[in-house]
Amino acid sequence: MEYTELIRIRESVRNYDPDRSVPSEVMSKILDAGRLALSACNYQPWKFLVISSSEMLKKVRNCYKREWLNNAPHILVIIGFKDQAWTRGYDGYNSLETDIAIAMTHIILAATNEGVGTCWIAAYDPAQLREALKLDENQVIYSITPLGYPKAGYKKSLIKNRKPLEEVVKFL
Ligand SMILES: Cc1cc2nc3c(=O)[nH]c(=O)nc-3n(C[C@H](O)[C@H](O)[C@H](O)COP(=O)(O)O)c2cc1C
């Protein structure tokens, strides 16, 4: 798909077909877009967890209780490793959250390109999710997304409710 079109049609999908899993070759393409993402110093401080088993899906859905999430056949969690991310010498700024946000964005756009729906989710219970995934101290999560095909009849909104360009851009 042409890039400007991809950006225009990407939207948060909250209506999934529970009976349609993402085929492994499509899933690989989507995940590979995350693998190819840029990161500070190219440290790639991440791991992509694709959750598809009913046992694990139940645990993760419990951390963000929304009816619509129950229909998503997969949930992707990006785990970041604190000790693998770049730290700026001047002030200790650590790039982990930024690196992971970029990888997640690559994945979301690649999924859109494959007709697979996503929805960036951050409002889960983080302590519960850490417990469900048995993360250690060094591992963090900033976002998760369902991956799945929108239900038959799902209509894209195609309305971008965004601030006008003049409001968000300044030329100096
Ligand atoms: C950092 C971040 C956190 C978000 N958290 C949630 C969330 O917890 N639940 C949800 O349904 N959508 C969440 N969203 C999706 C936004 O609500 C959505 O991207 C925004 O309203 C614009 O709509 P669009 O994605 O359809 O263009 C989140 C998006 C971002 C970038």
Stretch 44-48: mean pLDDT: 98
Kindly report the average pLDDT of the chain as a whole number: 97
Tokens 């929304």 belong to residue: 66
Q: How far apart are CA 73 and CA 19, in angstroms?
A: 8
**CA 102–ligand 1 middle distance (angstroms):** 15
Q: Please, which residues have CB within 8 angstroms of residue 7's CB and are 6 or more apart in sequence?
A: 109
Query: With 90 as the cut, is the pLDDT of residue 16 above it?
Result: yes
pLDDT computed for residue 159 by the predictor: 85
Range in 46-55, 81-90, 157-166 with the lowest mean pLDDT: 157-166
Residues with CB under 6 A from ligand 1: 11-12, 119-123
CATH number for the domain whose boundaries are 3-152:
3.40.109.10
For 66, the token pair is 């929304």
| Entry pTM | 0.97
Ligand 1, from 119, 142, 154: best to mutate by most atoms within 8 Å of Cβ?
Answer: 119
Residue (of 128, 104, 136) closest to 118 by Cα position: 104
Question: First and final CA of the chain: distance in angstroms?
Answer: 34
Q: Give the percent of the chain with pLDDT over 90.
A: 97
Stretch 26-53: mean pLDDT: 98
CA 66 to ligand 1: nearest atom = 11
**CA 62–ligand 1 middle distance (angstroms):** 19
Stretch 45-70: mean pLDDT: 98
Q: Please, which residues have CB within 8 angstroms of residue 164's CB and are 6 or more apart in sequence?
A: none
Q: Are 72 and 148 in contact (CB under 8 A)?
A: yes
What is the residue-wise DSSP string for 104-159? HHHHHHHHHHTT-BB--B--S-HHHHHHHHT--TTEEEEEEEEEBPBPTT------
Q: What is the pLDDT of residues 87-103, one digit of tens each?
A: 999 999 999 999 999 99
